[in-house]
Amino acid sequence: MMTLQASKSATDIDAFDPDAPIFDPAAFRLNDEQAAIIASARELGQRVFAGRAAAYDRDAKFPTENYRDLHRSGLLGIAIPEKHGGLGADYQTYALAAAEIGRYCGATALTWNMHVCSTLWSGPLADDLDMDAATRAEHERRRAVHYKRIVDNGAVYSQPFSEGGAAAAGGVAFGTEATPVTGGWIVNGKKIFASLSGHADYYGVLCTEVAEGEKASRRNTLYLAIPAKAGGVSVVGDWDPLGMRGTVSRTLLFKDVFVPEDAALMPRGVYFQAAMRWPHMFLTLSPTYMGLAQAAYDFTVRYLRGEMPGTPPVKRRMYPTKQIAVAQMQIKLEQIKAIWFQAVTEARANPTKEQVLRAYAAQYSAMEGANELATLAIRTCGGQAMLKSLPLERIYRDSRCGSLMLPWTAELCLDRIGREALYETGESDD
């Protein structure tokens, strides 16, 4: 396994007291390589990212410094195979590491997810999908170019697919269109809520390939890495949201942007195949919120014990009502951890119906549960705990955003679980 380099910063303190892992490697049967990668993410998060999170949030500023540290530590290439210079983490290892980052800085974890997905989806996930030998060889050659940029130069990728309509929910073809031309495509369209806009080096855009006279079809979805500096790409609008402020999710416009064939992060038809056969690809937004759930609980225990840095050492733990609230939080946290761990562990191609329903349930549990825990934490810790000088109110605001993430919003998870539990494929009441 590649050696991980722990990043040092001015915020390092001599008496570093590391937090326990969210998922203890022995209890959750993780191997040493997994445990090392996850521990490196936790250490970077606790030592470095936690101290910077408030400023990124206050100023709605992209965590550029954190990305330099992610590159230095090797974590920018966490899901890139070792033969290409990455850490070679699988889906489960990535998810557990991302939860540890989310524990300390939600905006960094969420944007890091968009970046990592460009390598996870084009990497281990694509390896599970059908391609003829020539297509696979071409894909292997192309993805090596993307991997090299990330490993050698610290290139950052984003993943704008939302357009404001039903496309990001999986209902219709993306309105951003790629017209085939000699050597590539001309892309036109608009993406909203594009995290990392103005900060990514490449925008991993989902769009529809539409040849002259053809109708747009979801089957023809392309996943293209468009250079941020390409002619015709612009970032517009401002960004002043409730939470996840450091994600800088502004609007991206593409006006007659020429994109060469080598920019394809997946071959033709493979994104559609992935969406059908590898549904856990959409569960990757949840690790951030698993981490935020843990953070709300960690805060509460520390605060009630009178051990929260920056607050007077007043103990509140002796009150039965507060003990009950902590008990409720611990039960809720363990419930989220259990279903979420199971779902990220069984992510694979062609999951069973039960596994798919469980993935929706895990997403719902993490996204809604993180905010429920933050709400309970504020109620039981009390007024002084929600001052902006402490992380809890940021955890509360960031955690509120999880349910909004398409295609698996909390509403759409409920919708799918209810329908798919009651109807088999192709069944109707007509």
Ligand X SMILES: Cc1cc2nc3c(=O)[nH]c(=O)nc-3n(C[C@H](O)[C@H](O)[C@H](O)COP(=O)(O)OP(=O)(O)OC[C@H]3O[C@@H](n4cnc5c(N)ncnc54)[C@H](O)[C@@H]3O)c2cc1C
| Binding footprint of ligand X on the chain (CB under 6 A) | 114, 159-162, 164-166, 168-169, 171, 193-195, 244, 247, 249, 401, 404-406, 409, 411-412, 415
Minimal distance, residue 376 CB to ligand X, in Å: 22
Query: At closest approach, how far in Å is the CB of 295 from ligand X?
Result: 17
DSSP 124: I
Q: 406 and 169 in contact (C-beta within 8 Å)?
A: yes
- Using alpha carbons, select from 224, 213, 138, 142 the residue that is nearest to residue 178: 224
Q: Which is nearer to ligand X, 38 or 366 (CB)?
A: 366
Radius of gyration of the chain measured on its C-alpha atoms? 21
Min separation Cβ 409 and ligand X, Å: 6
Helical H segments across 17-132, by residue range: 32-44, 50-59, 64-72, 91-102, 106-120, 126-127
CA pair distance 16, 47, nearest whole angstrom: 8
What 232-236 contacts at long range (C-beta under 8 Å, 24+ apart), as own/partner pairs, is 232/187, 232/256, 232/257, 232/258, 233/203, 233/257, 235/194, 235/197, 235/198
Closer to ligand X at the Cβ: 88 or 189?
A: 189
Q: What is the DSSP letter of 79?
A: T
What are the distances in angstroms from CA 78 to CA 132, 284, 428? 27, 14, 44
Q: Which is nearer to ligand X, 349 or 414 (CB)?
A: 414
Q: How far is the CB of 169 from ligand X (least distance, A)?
A: 4
Instruction: Please state the closest distance from residue 62 (CB atom) to ligand X, in A.
Output: 12
**CA nearest neighbour of 114 among 160, 65, 165:** 160
- Least distance in angstroms from the C-beta of 245 to ligand X: 8
From CA 371, how far away is CA 365, in angstroms rounded?
Answer: 10
Toward ligand X, which CB reaches closer, 30 or 150?
Answer: 150
CB of 24: closest distance to ligand X in angstroms? 30
Cα–Cα dist 245/261, whole Å: 34
Which lies closer to ligand X via its Cβ, residue 108 or residue 380?
A: 108
Indicate the residue among 89 and 194 with the shorter CB distance to ligand X: 194
Nearer to ligand X, 159 or 399 (CB): 159
